[in-house]
Amino acid sequence: MQLSPSRVASEYEWMRNRTEVVTLINHVRGELGDAFDTTVAGVTDSDYREEVDAVFADGDLAVNVAGLVAVLRELDVEDDYPGFVVDELLGRELAGMIAGNQPLRLLGEATFHFADVLHHEDGAVAGMDDLDAALAAGFQTRLPGWKWTETESPFSVE
C-alpha cells in the first residue's frame, strides 16, 4: 500500500461520506447512556463530518488514520476467527487515534469493543465491521454530548 497526499485525501472523502456510521454512534451513545444512567446528546451527519474535517486537518494524524482506514476496508480473513485479533487490534487503535489524547484515547479504545459487539454487517469483509465500530467509538468519544466532558475538571492544580 502506498500512502500519498492524494491517497489520504481519498480516504478522507470516503470517511467523510460514510455517514451511516452516525446511526451506530447514536446507538452506542444511547446504550452507554442507559448503562451509566445519563443522557448523552445525539450526533448529526453534520457533526460527524465536521469532526472528520478536524481529524484530517492534522496531517500527521490524517496519514495514520487514512492508513488504518485503508487497511481495514480491505482486510478479510478466511473463516474470520483465526485472524480476528488483527482487525480488533487495528480497530481499537483507530478508535483511540480518532478519540484524541488521554483519557479520551483510552475511552475510545474501550468503547470500540462495545461498539463492535453492537455492530455486524452481513456479507462485509471482516475489517469493515471493525472499521465502522472504530469510527463510531472514536467519534462518539471526541464529540461533545457527555456532561462530564463539558465541565472543568476538579483535579486541575494551579
pLDDT at 14 over 80: yes
pLDDT beyond 90 at 158:
no
Higher-confidence residue of 77 and 16: namely 16
Q: What is the pLDDT of residue 81?
A: 64
Please, what is the average pLDDT of the chain?
A: 91
Residue 123: which pLDDT band, with cuts at 50, 70 and 90?
Answer: low
Q: How far is it, in rounded angstroms, from Cα 117 to Cα 110? A: 12
> What is the model's pLDDT at position 148?
79
Instruction: With a cut of 70, say whether residue 122 has pLDDT above it.
Output: no
Is there a contact between 38 and 15 (Cβ–Cβ < 8 Å)? Answer: no
Name the residue among 121, 150, 135 with its Cα closest to residue 28. Answer: 135
Q: What's the one-letter identity of residue 147?
A: K
On whether the CB atoms of residues 145 and 42 are closer than 8 A, the answer is yes
Q: Which tens digits make up the pLDDT trace of 33-47?
A: 999 999 999 999 999
Contact 111, 141 (CB under 8 A): yes
pLDDT for 10 beyond 90? yes
What is the model's pTM? Answer: 0.92
Task: With beta carbons less than 8 A apart as the criterion, state whether 22 and 49 touch.
Answer: no
Can you tell me the distance from the alpha carbon of 142 to that of 95, in angstroms, rounded to the nearest whole number?
10
Q: How far apart are CA 27 and CA 141, in angstroms?
A: 13
CB-based contact 127:84 (threshold 8 Å) = no
